[in-house]
C-alpha cells in the first residue's frame, strides 16, 4: 500500500468517533482531506447534525462543498472533538505540525477541544522528533532580527518558500521559518524556549495535546488510545 492509501485508511477509521450533535474541529492536510470526505458521507447517510470549525480555507471550502455546516471558532464555546493530521509523532505522542503552515489555527482549535485525534500514516511515527523541520510562524516585522536570534540559538531557521520561490504565507498573512534543529531530546524545553521568543506567533510543537492516534499501517489502521 502506498502512503496515500495508509492515510486514507486512518482517516476513514477516525470518523467512527464522531457522534451526532458534536461540535467538531477539522484539521488541515492531505490526510484530513480523506477524513472530511468520509465525515460528510457519514453525516449524510446517518442524517447527523454536526457543527464544524475549520483550520484553513482549504478545509473550509471542502467541508462546505460537501454540505457540512461550518461556523467560526468564536461562534462555539467548546469543540467536542478535533481530528487532524501530523508531521511527526514521537514515542511519547508529542507532535510536530505545520507542514501545511496551518499550525497556529490548528493549535488554537486543538486547545479548544475536549478530545483530539491525530490521523497519520506509519511513516510519521518516530522515536524522537526533529527529522521534520519545526515550523514557526513569524511576522514580517522584525524578520531579520528574529531569524538572527533563532540562528544564534543554533536553531537553523530557513524561510519557507513556495514553488515560485515566493515566501509562503499563513492564513494570517505571516511568514514561516522552518527550524532545522536535529533530534529534539526535550520537546518541552524547546517549546518553552520558543514560547518566550518575542515576535514568534506560534510554533509547531504540539505537546500533551492528543487523546488518540490512528496510524495507517499495511495491516490496517492501528488505534493508539
Ligand atoms: C498542516 C499540518 C498537517 O496536519 C500536517 O502537515 C500533515 O499533513 P498531511 O496529512 O498532508 O501529511 O500540520 O499545518
Complex ipTM: 0.98
Q: Classify residue 78 as left (phi > 0), alpha (psi -120 to 50) or beta.
A: beta
Cα(191)–Cα(202) distance, rounded to whole angstroms?
10
Cα(146)–Cα(200) distance, rounded to whole angstroms?
8
The pTM is what? 0.97
How many CB atoms sit inside 10 A of residue 221's CB? Answer: 18
* Cβ–Cβ < 8 Å for 119, 14: yes
For the stretch 23-53, what's the b/e string if a residue is b when 16 or more beta carbons lie within 10 angstroms of its beta carbon?
bbbbbbbebbbbbbbbbbeebeeeeeebbbb
Q: Is 75 a catalytic residue?
A: no
Q: What is the pLDDT of residue 65?
A: 98
pLDDT above 90 covers what percent of the chain?
100
Residue 217: exposure state from Cβ atoms within 10 A (0-12, 13-18, ≥19) = middle
Average pLDDT estimate for 52-75: 98
* Interacting residues of 54 by C-beta distance below 8 A, sequence separation 6+: 26, 28, 60, 63, 70
The response to whether residue 27 sits with its C-beta less than 6 Å from ligand 1 reads yes
Cα(187)–Cα(189) distance, rounded to whole angstroms?
5
Estimate to the nearest angstrom the gap between the alpha carbon of 217 and the chain centroid: 20
Please say if the pLDDT value at position 74 is more than 90. yes
pLDDT above 70 covers what percent of the chain?
100
Average pLDDT estimate for 48-56: 98
Partners of residue 175 on adjacent β-strands: 138
Please say if the pLDDT value at position 1 is more than 90. no
Q: Of the listed 12, 106, 137, 202, which one is catalytic?
A: 106
Q: Which of 57, 86, 213 to mutate to test the pocket of ligand 1 (most atoms within 8 A of CB)?
A: 86
Q: What is the pLDDT of residues 154-166, one digit of tens each?
A: 999 999 999 999 9
Centroid of ligand 1 to alpha carbon of 100 (angstroms): 5
* Cβ–Cβ < 8 Å for 26, 63: yes
Q: What is the pLDDT of residue 10?
A: 98
* Cβ–Cβ < 8 Å for 116, 84: yes
Average pLDDT estimate for 66-88: 98
Nearest CA-CA partner of 29 in 95, 114, 73: 95
Average pLDDT estimate for 118-136: 98
Q: Is 116 helix (H, G, I), strand (E, B) or coil?
A: strand
212: pLDDT confidence band, cut at 50, 70 and 90? very high
Helices (H), 15-135: 30-45, 57-65, 103-111
Amino acid at each position: 500500500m502506498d502512503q496515500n492509501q495508509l492515510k486514507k485508511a486512518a482517516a476513514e477509521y477516525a470518523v467512527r468517533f464522531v457522534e451526532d450533535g458534536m461540535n467538531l474541529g477539522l484539521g488541515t492536510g492531505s490526510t484530513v482531506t480523506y477524513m472530511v470526505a468520509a465525515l460528510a458521507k457519514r453525516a449524510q447517510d446517518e442524517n447527523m447534525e454536526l457543527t464544524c470549525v475549520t483550520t484553513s480555507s482549504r478545509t473550509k471550502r471542502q467541508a462546505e462543498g460537501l454540505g457540512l455546516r461550518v461556523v467560526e471558532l468564536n461562534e462555539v464555546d467548546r469543540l467536542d472533538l478535533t481530528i487532524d493530521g501530523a508531521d511527526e509523532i514521537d514515542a511519547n505522542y508529542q507532535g510536530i505540525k505545520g507542514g501545511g503552515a496551518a499550525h497556529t489555527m490548528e493549535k488554537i482549535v486543538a486547545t479548544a477541544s475536549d478530545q483530539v485525534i491525530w490521523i497519520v500514516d506509519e511513516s510519521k511515527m518516530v522515536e524522537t522528533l526533529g527529522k521534520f523541520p519545526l515550523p514557526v510562524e513569524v511576522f514580517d516585522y522584525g524578520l531579520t532580527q528574529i531569524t538572527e536570534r533563532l540562528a544564534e540559538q543554533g536553531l537553523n531557521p530557513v524561510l519557507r518558500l513556495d514553488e515560485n520561490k515566493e515566501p509562503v504565507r499563513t492564513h494570517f498573512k505571516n511568514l514561516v521559518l522552518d527550524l532545522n534543529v536535529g533530534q529534539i531530546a526535550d520537546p518541552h524545553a524547546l517549546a518553552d524556549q520558543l514560547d518566550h521568543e518575542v515576535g514568534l506567533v506560534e510554533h509547531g510543537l504540539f505537546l500533551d495535546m492528543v487523546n488518540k492516534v490512528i496510524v495507517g499501517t499495511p495491516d490496517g489502521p492501528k488505534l493508539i488510545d
